[in-house]
Amino acid sequence: MSRLRIGTRGSALALWQANAVAALLAGHGRATELVTIRTTGDRIQDRPLSEAGGKGLFVKEIEDALLAGSIDLAVHSAKDMSVAIPPGLAVAAVLPREDPRDALVLREGRGLPSPCNVGTGSVRRSAQLSGRMPGARFLPIRGNVDTRLRKLDGGELDALILAAAGLTRLGHAPRISQAIPADECIPAPGQGIIAIETRADDASDAVWRAIDDAAAAAAFDAERAVVEGLGGGCQLPLGAIALHEDGGLVMHGIVITPDGSRRAQRTVRGGAADPAAVGRRLAAELADAGAIDILNSLR
């Protein structure tokens, strides 16, 4: 049997994710090789992603390679994926979810001064946290996790807000000064989930069922349904998370203006058997609370 070619970005975190998938496939007798692909999002480092076209810029070239047949599967951070998967492709499996929360990272041995400069590449994070960190000035920052940590430790910033999942996977969990509760900063849809994308014809392979994590898959489907229900676009100032509680799902969602002055925020509960339906209900309740008006004001 020929090796499965895994398409991935070349960052340390992307390679960690691709190697995690490779290890799982090896456990099921599938040999693999990594194919590193440089995406538009990797090349653009001089402006925020929201201005460049959104996080979907991290997946387009990899999906193109998948459609062209130069790779056999793609490994993505689920939060980078658009809800509009190109025709001919499918999400075949997701891995168990890592901690989905955002995390505050301080300079080693330092507290958080006030006022302070906090680096984040996410409008969603700065908008939600501005009211909880009144002395903070949120500054845009690009680059991989190690680059951002170097900027912090070099004194360019007083703190960072990063995904706890990425820090943990790269061995930087000790750098987390505080994991921010999800009700204080609702994470991005899909945060902490690794998704495996294949050509649609290959998605029925039994190996994907063997490595798919049902709990993460339910959260993935529910959170993507919220994004789709509000008009799509992974660059929206939107937070949504599905949590498994008492055999069902509890979903929290927020749509917020960049300055935090207007927000639509709701929580819904539903059965885990149809997670997308729970996500659609959350989207509808957010819309009724003014989310569409907020989003239209930002377009």
Q: Amino acid identity of 169?
A: R
Q: What is the largest CA-CA distance in the chain?
A: 60
Query: Per the structure block, which two tokens stand in for 85?
Result: 């998967």
User: CB neighbours (10 Å) of residue 285?
Assistant: 18
- Catalytic, 158? Answer no
How far CA 124 is from CA of 51, 112, 127, 184, 240, in Å, comes to: 14, 21, 5, 12, 11
| Residue whose pair of structure tokens reads 């921010």 in the numeric block | 180
How far CA 298 is from CA of 15, 257, 258, 294, in Å, comes to: 34, 8, 9, 7
| Residue whose pair of structure tokens reads 């029925």 in the numeric block | 204
HSE-CB of 79 using CA atoms within 13 angstroms: 25
Query: Per the structure block, which two tokens stand in for 288?
Result: 């009724």
Determine the length of the chain: 299
Q: How far apart are CA 6 and CA 232, in angstroms?
A: 27
Q: How far apart are CA 175 and CA 182, in angstroms?
A: 19
Q: By C-alpha distance, which of 243, 257, 249, 251 is closest to 294?
A: 257
Query: Per the structure block, which two tokens stand in for 173?
Result: 């969990």
Which DSSP letter does residue 180 get? P
Sign of CA dihedral 110, 116, 121, 122: positive
Q: Which of 72, 80, 102, 158 is catalytic?
A: 80
CA angle 131, 137, 141 (to 5 degrees): 115
Active-site residue list: 80
